[in-house]
Structure 1
């Protein structure tokens, strides 16, 4: 099993931000990535629909022999991972907004969270906020419209900048000094966010922490790939593969991007 690939899925290209962190930390590991862009964004869907899509993605990855599955989508994690863990024996790694480190580091005691509607409305997000935000004010903001813009490659467009200003300015007025990104698409907005946020505001995402957790779970289950062969990365999307390709063109190695109907 140790030579089997790591499976990763997201509601589109955003999860490649997580995939890159995993690939950097675990260069010996083969990966299979599913970009379910046809159904993006998950954040606007019902919990039942999110679970159905998550099961579909999981079973496709299991059919391809994946030894562990990373749910590289905050909305799918918060709405479906409990059911997935109960239904399948393979280990699952989920993504949660990094509220804890932001709360610990905040000097103004005010933390902004930019996330999808589906994440912010979930019970898992609310319990995470309650557990880690003692004495900290959490300002929640839905990032409506951002995922389609990122999926369209418009990470620095005037429309994107306009939306971001609309979303972050009220949080700045409330004294936010940390901004937690609660969607795996959003790390691609970091350069744009840095251009509009004051220098003292720290942006936090979950990518590195997720990669470290994948390594921990692989080690715990004796699933680390110790082969010296060049890792193979298979990335699939159910729309135009050119979009997904554009998000991983900076990655070297044995990598293929293909269209797959799923």
Structure 2
């Protein structure tokens, strides 16, 4: 396949999808990436399906105007509520992100796993269709009320965050889970906090590495790889970029847009 130096587009309802971007950039460092943080509308998890679809289409069109060769929907809520509509409407490959239930179920010894996710993800038809496959495993679902907002405000290590996480995770620990699935791309930034609460035998799973590998596969099969030696990332946000800059350790180009 011929090389293709057009960028990979990535969008999320804010800064959380940078956890996915980091995995993609690590695996495919020569690919140019454009990341769109729709923080003004975060969190998507409390919006209606129609609102999520409309925002996802708006984000997609922004990235297509930047000539992106494929689009990563780095948001569980947008994936579970809108990716089918995006694939029907736009002639570009889409890669979604879903809670990594399958590896948790297949490795669980207690046959009890926990999922921490947004309301939009847990209530979606796609999520429920996925969980129906695993009737033999008890799946404890917990909506992460307030977590995305705190992360967007720079409160990852705040006392309020620790209090919320403890209230969400304690019932799962008491129910004897041995795997915790993080069902929101914001949540990997909470892993250090979560590890302070969970017993050491409980494994934490997120989707970042799997999404990066799927991105590599689609580049190989459909769009072509970049021939550049190094891919420069660009980040766009429609709110104050301070928290995004901190998450990215002030290493990359950030542009604030009215979007």
- TM-score category (smaller protein): over 0.9
- Quote the Cα distance in structure 2 between the aligned partners of 1:156 and 1:241: 19
TM-score (norm 1): 0.96
Q: What whole-Å deviation, never above 9, does each CA across 1:51-87 have from its counterpart, x for those lacking one? A: 0000000000000100000000000000000000000
Taking the TM superposition and a 5 Å limit, the aligned residue runs for 1:10-159 are 10-131=12-133, 133-159=134-160
Q: What whole-Å deviation, never above 9, does each CA across 1:197-251 have from its counterpart, x for those lacking one? A: 10001000000000000000010014111222x3111101000011211111175
Contact 2:32/2:231, CA 8 A, preserved across alignment: yes
Residue 246 of structure 1 aligns with which residue?
246
My pick for the range that moved more, 180-189 or 148-157, is 148-157
- Quote the Cα distance in structure 2 between the aligned partners of 1:101 and 1:186: 18
My pick for the range that moved more, 184-193 or 241-250, is 241-250
Structure 2, unmatched stretches of 5+, are none
Contact 2:71/2:92, CA 8 A, preserved across alignment: yes
Q: CA RMSD in A?
A: 1.0
Structure 1, unmatched stretches of 5+, are none
Q: Which residue of 5, 9, 13 maps to 2:11?
A: 9
The ranges of structure 1 where at least 4 consecutive aligned residues each deviate by more than 3 angstroms after the TM superposition are none
- Quote the Cα distance in structure 2 between the aligned partners of 1:98 and 1:222: 25
TM-score (norm 2): 0.97
